[in-house]
Amino acid sequence: MLYHIATVLKQYFSFFNVVHYITFRASVALLMSLIFSLIGCGIFIRLFGRCVVSHPRPFTPDTHKHKKDIPLMGGLVVLLVVFGTVLLWGNLSKPAVWFLLMTMFLFGAIGLIDDIKKIKTGHGISALTKISLQLVAALVVVIGWLWWSNPSTMVWFPFFKRIHPEFGVFFIAWAVFILIGTSNAVNLTDGLDGLAPISLIANFVTFSLICYMAGHVKISQYLAIPFAGSAELTVVGSALAGALIGFLWFNTYPAQIFLGDVGSLALGAGLAFMALVSKQELLLPISGGLFVAEIFSVILQVVSYKLRGKRIFKMAPLHHHYELLGWPEAKITIRFGIISFILCLIVLMMLKLR
| Distant-in-sequence, close-in-space partners of 186: CB < 8 Å, separation ≥ 6 | 196, 200, 264, 265, 267, 268, 271, 291
The mean pLDDT value of the chain amounts to 92
pLDDT band, very low/low/confident/very high, at 1 (cuts 50, 70, 90): confident
Report the pLDDT averaged over residues 132-141.
Answer: 98
The answer on pLDDT for 3 being more than 90 is: no
- Residue 20 confidence (pLDDT): 84
* pLDDT score for 116: 93
Average pLDDT over residues 91-119: 96
How would you class 158 by CB atoms within 10 Å of its CB: exposed for 0-12, middle for 13-18, buried for 19 or more?
A: middle
pLDDT > 90? residue 347: yes
Nearest-Å Rg of the Cα atoms of the chain is: 20
Handedness of CA 208, 214, 217, 221 (dihedral sign): positive
> What is the predicted pLDDT for the residue at 15?
67
Q: Is 106 exposed, middle or buried (0-12, 13-18, 19+ CB in 10 A)?
A: buried
Confidence of residue 58 (pLDDT cuts 50, 70, 90): low
pLDDT at 65: 66
- How far is residue 313's CA from residue 301's CA, in Å, rounded to a whole number? 7
Q: Does residue 167 carry a pLDDT above 80? A: yes
- Per-residue pLDDT, 11: 74
pLDDT at 165 (0 to 100): 93
pLDDT, position 282: 96
> What pLDDT sits at residue 349?
92
The residues near 341 (Cβ < 8 Å, ≥ 6 apart) are 202
Q: What percent of the chain has pLDDT above 90?
A: 76
Mean pLDDT lowest among 18-22, 148-152, 179-183? 18-22
> Residue 71 pairs with which residues in a beta bridge?
53
Helix/strand/coil percentages in the chain, nearest 5: 75, 0, 25
What's the CA gap between 334 and 297, in Å, rounded? 19
pLDDT at 178 over 90: yes
Q: What is the pLDDT of residue 7?
A: 77
Specify the pLDDT at position 6.
Answer: 78
pLDDT at 276: 98
Q: What is the pLDDT of residue 69?
A: 76
Predicted TM-score (pTM) of this structure: 0.95
Using pLDDT thresholds of 50, 70 and 90, give the confidence band for residue 10: confident
pLDDT tens, position by position, 212-245: 999 999 999 999 899 999 999 999 999 999 999 9
Could you give phi then psi for residue 278, rounded to 5 degrees? -80, 0
Q: Pinpoint the alpha helices (H) of 229-283.
A: 233-251, 260-277
How much is the pLDDT for 66? 66
Q: Please give the pLDDT value at position 56.
A: 60
**Residues, the chain:** 354
Question: ∠ CA 49-55-58 to the nearest 5 degrees?
Answer: 145
Residue 191 has pLDDT above 90, yes or no: no
Cα–Cα separations (whole angstroms), residue 253 to 48, 167, 330? 20, 44, 6
As a whole number, mean pLDDT of residues 60-69 equals 69
Whole-number Å distance between alpha carbons of 216 and 207: 14
Q: Residue 255 carries which DSSP code?
A: P
d(CA 300, CA 230): 36
The pLDDT value recorded for residue 31 is 98
pLDDT at 55 over 70: no
Q: Which residue has the higher pLDDT, 28 or 68?
A: 28
Under the banding of pLDDT at 50, 70 and 90, the label for residue 48 is confident
